[in-house]
Amino acid sequence: MDFLVENKWTILVSLEVLAWSSTFLLVYARYGLKSSFWFKIATVLFALTGVIPQVLMGIVNFIATKKVDLFTLIIVLLILYGFTLGRNHVKMLDAWAQRKFSARQNHRD
């Protein structure tokens, strides 16, 4: 647990990068590859790098420090973003990708 608390910022940033990478993989698998297999893989990757580990990191940090500090507040804000504005941003990304890949498909026909 000491390792997690000592490296919490690096772990959090890494998880965020992986979560957004898996989001882009989700979109690409859905529209670019048209693969339900890769879409499912990306969904699992998103779950393993997104909300679940962030919540766990927040809990571990709170248990270790016994207070709500900046790290815990950042995690709460990230989770709130994910359930509010983030959903809309992902929907916009999804709509953009759908247009982009359908336009690319139309040029091939």
Question: pTM of the predicted model, to two decimals?
Answer: 0.76
C-alpha dihedral, 53 to 57 to 58 to 64, nearest 10°: 160
pLDDT digits (tens, 9 = 90+) for 40-99: 999 998 888 888 898 999 999 999 999 999 999 999 998 899 889 988 988 898 899 999
Give the model's pLDDT for residue 109.
Answer: 54
CA distances for 88 relative to 23, 33, 59, 91, 95, angstroms = 13, 23, 27, 5, 10
Q: What total number of domains does the chain contain?
A: 1
Find the domain containing 59 and state its range.
2-108
pLDDT band at 105 (very low <50, low <70, confident <90, very high): low
pLDDT band at 107 (very low <50, low <70, confident <90, very high): low
